[in-house]
Chain A
Amino acid sequence: MTQNGSTGGMQPAWSGVVISGSLTDGVTARLDAGSSVEDIKVGTLAAIEGERMRFLGEITDVSLESADRNLGAAPPDTSDPFIAQVVSGTTAYGTIKVAPRLVLDKEAALSDEQAHMPAKTVPSHFSRISQATAQDIEMVYGSEDDQHFWIGNPLDMETKLCLDVRRLVERSNGVFGKSGTGKTFLTRLLLAGILQSGEAVNLVFDMHGEYGWRGSAEGSTREVKGLKQLFGSKVAVFALDAESVKRKRLNPDYMVKIGYEEIEPEDIQILRGALNLSEVAADIPYSLQRKFSKRTWLKEFLALQPEAIADLATEMNVNQGAMATLHRRLGRLDRFSFMDPTGAHDSVGRLLDYLNRGMHVVLEFGGYGNDLLAYVLVANLLTRRIHQRYVDMKERALSEMSPEPRPLVITIEEAHRFLMPGIAEQTIFATIAREMRKYNVTLLVVDQRPSSIADEIMSQVGTKLVCLLDDENDVKAVLTGVSGGSKLRTVLASLDSKQQALAFGHAVPMPVVFRTRDYGTTESYKSFGYLDEAERKVKMEKDLADLYGPEDE
C-alpha cells in the first residue's frame, strides 16, 4: 500500500482515465496499469482534469473488471509473478467510481471564493484522473487562518483540512457516530476551533465531564486536557454537582442552582419520558399553574400532603391517580442538590454574563451526568431562558441598531433525548434548530443514534460530521436531505472505527473523509497555543484581570 499519499509535486499514488459515467451515477474511471486497486480507498478525494475545468469528487466505489469474459474460466497463472504483473491492469483491471461535486476554475486564484462551483456536468471521455492535490484541498476548503480551523487531514493526504468556522456557526451542526468512534474528540476539536476563531461563544452541556477540566481517551486510562486547561481564561466551568466538585477538588467558576419557580409546565412535558408519566399526568401542570401562580405552582404542589392531592384532583376535575403519580414522580426533583428552594440565585443571568463577555461556558453535570432526568431538565430549562434572552437582545438590536448578541453555539450530548419525534416539538432545541441563525443561537448536536432524532430536525442540521455508523437506520437518518446521499453510503460504511469521520453539509463545499487531528499529545496542545507552566506564569498575571472581571456573588 502506498504510504506517501500524494502531496505536493510527488508522483500521484494512482491515476486513471475516465471511461464512462453520468452526473447522477458518477463517473467511472479505469485505473492505469501501474495503479493498484489496493492503493485506493473509498472516500479519497479525486481530481479529474477535464478539457477546460478541473473536477473534484470523492471516490464512492472501487471494482474489479476484466477485459475478457472468459477470464474466470481460464484464469492466468498468477502464481508466476511475471504473469501476475502483466495481467494486472490489462486483462484484469480496476475501476473506480467518482461522484463529481465541484468544478475548479483553472484560472482562479487560490483565495478566490468563486474559485469553485458545484459540478453541473461531467468531464469528457478519457480525462485523466488522480488523487486530489494539496492545492485542490486548499482551494476548496481554505487554508488555516483565523476563520479556518484545521480539523484533520483528508484521507491518505498530509494536507491540512480546514473548516470554515464562520459558515459552521451559521447553522446548527451535528456530530454523529457509534459510541467509541471518537465523537467526543471531534466535538472537543470543533469547540476548540470555534473558541480559537472567536466567531461564536460556546455553551456546552457536558454530560460526562469530557470538555471542561479534562477528558479521557477512549480505550485507555489516559487523560486529555479539557478546554479549561487549554484555553484558561477564555473558558468558564460551571458545575451542577457540589459533591463531585468536592471529590475531584475542582474549582468551578460557578455552581449552578435551579429554583423551583423556574420550572414551567413545558419542562415537565419534556420529562414525560424520563419520569414515565402518562399524557394526562403530564398535562396537569398547566392546570396547576392556573390554579396556583405562574411561579410558585411547583413548590406549592410538592408541599401538598397526599390527602390534599385527592381533594385538589376533585376540585380541578382531573384524574386522582394521575395527579398522585405526578406528585410522587415530581418528588424526585427534591433529591437533586442543585434544586434550590430559596430562590436566591440567578444562574441564567450569570451564564449570560459570561457569554456576553465572550467567555465559553462548560456546564459539568458531575454525578448527574448519568441521570437523564437532571440532564434533560437542566439543559432544556437553561437553554430556554438563554434563548429567550437572545431573542430579546436580537430584537432590541434590530430596533435600536445596538450591537447584536454574540453568536452562541449550544452543545448537547445524547441529543435524541431532546429531539425525539413527539418530544422535539416541545423542546427549545427543536425551535433553535429550525430558526437557524435568526437569533444568533445554533446547536451542536452530539448523538450516537441519529435515527432517533426527528427527521424534521435532522434536515435542518447544516454541517454533519459523521464517524462510523453501522446501523442502517442511523445511516439513512444522517443522509436525509443530502443530495447524492446514496453515494455517501458506501463511504460512510467504510470509515475506520477510530479517528476518522466524514464531513458534509453547509460548511464544507463537498463531502470529505478525514483523519481527525491529534488531540492529547504535547505537540497537539502546543498547536492550540497551550503554554506550559513557566510560559503560563508570565501570561497569568496578564490574565488575572480578565478572570476576575465581574464581581463574584
Chain B
Amino acid sequence: MTTSKNITDRLGQVVVASTTGFTAHCHELYQAPPLGSLVRCGRDDGVVYGVVAGITTESLDPSRRPMARDAKAESEDEVYANHPQLTRLLATRFETLSVGYRDDVGLHRYLAPLPPSIYSFVHLCSDGETREFTESLESLSVLLNAPNAPQDDVAAAFLRLASTTHSDPRAFLVRAGKELAVQLIGQSQRLNGILRRLSR
C-alpha cells in the first residue's frame, strides 16, 4: 500500500510487561489503537511486537469509581468541558499479545526472549511494517490460543487490518484463511465464525 500514513506517533508507554504480552498506558484518554492493531515497543536494538487484544478505560484510582454527572448536559463533550479534571482522573490502557520481535538478526515471529521494559514507548506499526510482519502468518497461533482474550475476534480484527496494507487484500485474506483452516483442524465452528468475520 502506498497510502502509508506513517503513523509513528507515540501511543503511550508500557506499564505492565510479561513474556506473553504487555499493557500500555495511553498518553491521551481514548487514544488506544483499534483492536487487532500491530504495535511495537522498545528501541532499535530490541523491538517487541504486540497485537492489541483488549482496551480498557477506567479510573486511575481504583478506590474512586467514576459516577454519572451533569444530568442536564446536552452532549457528552459538554460533560468533559464542565469537568476538565476528568481527563486526568481517567486513563486508557490497552493490552497486547506478544507476537514477535526484531533483533540484530532480523524479524522473528515468535515470543521475544525478554519482555520490554516498563515505560518503553509504544508505537503503532506503519503499513510497511505491518505488511512485512504479515508476510508470514505463523503468529496467528498465538492469537488463536491466547488465554483470557477474545481470541477469534482479535485474530479476525488483526487480519482485517493487516489486509489493508497488502496490495491484494483479498488474496491476503484467502491465504490467511487457509492458514486458519490448518490451525483450526477439528474446530470447524470456530473457523466458520472467523471466516464470516473476515468476509464482511
Contacts and interface: CB of A to CB of B under 8 A. Distances in A.
Given A68-B188, A70-B188, A85-B174, A80 B199 contact: yes
Interface string A64-93: 000111110011110010110111011100
Interface in B114-165: none
Judged by DSSP, the binding face of A is: loop
B186 A83 contact: no
Contact of A76 (B173, B185, B192, B198): B192
Contact of B196 (A70, A74, A77, A89): A77
B174 A91 contact: no
Interface string A339-355: 00000000000000000
A19 B118 CA distance: 49
Interface string B6-40: 00000000000000000000000000000000000
A33 interface: yes
A82 B177 contact: yes
Contacts of B192: 74, 76-77, 83
B181 A82 contact: no
B189 to A, nearest CB: 6
Contacts of A80: 195-196, 199
A74 B198 CA distance: 18
A76 B173 CA distance: 16
A90 B178 contact: yes
Nearest to A92: B181
A31 to B, nearest CB: 13
Nearest to B189: A74
Interface string B31-62: 00000000000000000000000000000000
Nearest to B183: A90
Contacts of A74: 188-189, 192
B188 A76 contact: yes
A83 B199 CA distance: 7
A410 B178 CA distance: 59
Given A68-B188, A70-B188, A90 B182 contact: yes
B191 interface: yes
Interface residues of A, number: 19
Contacts of A75: 188
Contacts of B189: 74
Interface string B162-182: 000000001001100110111
A68 B184 CA distance: 9
B171 to A, nearest CB: 10
A74 B188 CA distance: 7
A75 B191 CA distance: 11
Contacts of B181: 67, 86-87, 90-91
Interface core residue of A33, A89, A91 (most chain B CB under 10 Å): A91
A77 B193 CA distance: 10
Contacts of B195: 76-77, 80, 82-83, 86-87
Contacts of A90: 177-178, 181-182
A80 B185 CA distance: 20
B174 A86 contact: yes
A57 B199 CA distance: 40
A471 B192 CA distance: 46
Given A82-B198, A90-B182, A71 B174 contact: no
Interface in A12-70: 33, 67-70
Contacts of A77: 192, 195-196
A68 B186 contact: yes
Contact of B178 (A71, A76, A86): A86
Contacts of B188: 68, 70-71, 74-76, 91
Contacts of A85: 174, 177
Contact of B191 (A69, A76, A82): A76
A80 B177 CA distance: 13
A82 B185 contact: no
29 contacts: A33-B178, A67-B186, A69-B186, A70-B186, A71-B188, A74-B188, A74-B192, A76-B191, A76-B192, A76-B195, A77-B192, A77-B196, A80-B195, A82-B173, A82-B177, A82-B195, A83-B177, A83-B192, A83-B195, A83-B196, A83-B199, A86-B174, A86-B177, A86-B180, A87-B177, A89-B178, A90-B181, A91-B188, A91-B191
Interface of A: 33, 67-71, 74-77, 80, 82-83, 85-87, 89-91
Given A67-B182, A86-B174, 9 more contacts: A68-B185, A68-B186, A69-B186, A74-B189, A76-B195, A82-B199, A83-B196, A87-B177, A91-B185
Closest 4 CB pairs of A and B: A86-B177, A90-B181, A82-B199, A91-B181
